[in-house]
Amino acid sequence: MTTCLIDRKERCVERLLNSVGRLSRLINVIAGIAITFIMFLTVLDVILRSFRRPIVGTYELVAFSGAIVVGFAIPLTSWLRGHIYVDFFTGKLPQAVRSVFNLTTRCMGIGLFFLIGWNLIKVGLDLQQSGEVSLTLQLPFYPVAYGVAVSCFVQCLVLLADIVKIFRGSYE
């Protein structure tokens, strides 16, 4: 009976970890589409400028897309541990101390990204209520704020998954 319960818990944890990984990949696809859009838009604008026909609002579209690229790429980068970190100091520590250090930094990261996400939602609400739009194309700002906020909450899930991996002993 207890073995069955443990197996069920393990399967549940694995499903949770897989779901967080899939969600991170999904929003990373959106970031990839946005960076591809930036590249095509920039190249097309440069070509059309040589014919004295620039694309109106290129600067705004690149800025909006850039925010999406940066915000939506964070969770998968963290999931794959593709960010730059210096393990010179922590690599010399015993495994137990490293685990405590990793646990502490992940908890701090969850707090930070939750606060960023929460404040981006508040900013998005303010932008939506005020009706603030971009200067040239009149695009509303609030969808980008909401999108990056969602990405911050997904990052919280990634960090929570890291904590689960630390407790399982499968983080390193």
Q: Which residues are CB-contacts of 45 (< 8 A; sequence separation ≥ 6)? A: 54, 55, 58
Average pLDDT for the chain:
93
3-state secondary structure of 72: helix
pLDDT at 141: 96
Is 16 within 8 Å of 164 (Cβ atoms)? yes
- How does residue 71 score in pLDDT terms, banded at 50, 70 and 90? very high
Name all contacts of 109-113 with Cβ < 8 Å and 24+ positions apart.
109/155, 109/159, 110/156, 110/159, 110/160, 113/152, 113/153, 113/155, 113/156, 113/159
Question: From CA 75, how far away is CA 122, in angstroms rounded?
Answer: 21
Among 113-117, 153-157, 166-170, the minimum mean pLDDT is found in: 166-170
The rounded percent of the chain whose pLDDT value lies above 90 is: 78
How far apart CA 166 and CA 159 sit, in angstroms, is 10
Tens-place pLDDT, residues 32-59 = 999 999 999 999 999 999 999 999 999 9
Rounded CA gap, 56 and 42, in Å? 12
Query: Average pLDDT in the 103-128 region?
Result: 97
CA–CA separation, 152 and 150 (whole Å):
5
User: Which pLDDT belongs to residue 2?
Assistant: 65
pLDDT at 50: 95
Residue 172 has pLDDT above 80, yes or no: no
Q: Judge whether residue 6 has pLDDT over 80.
A: no
Residue 34's identity, in one-letter code, is: A
pLDDT at 54: 95
pLDDT for residue 147 is more than 80: yes
* pTM, two decimal places: 0.91
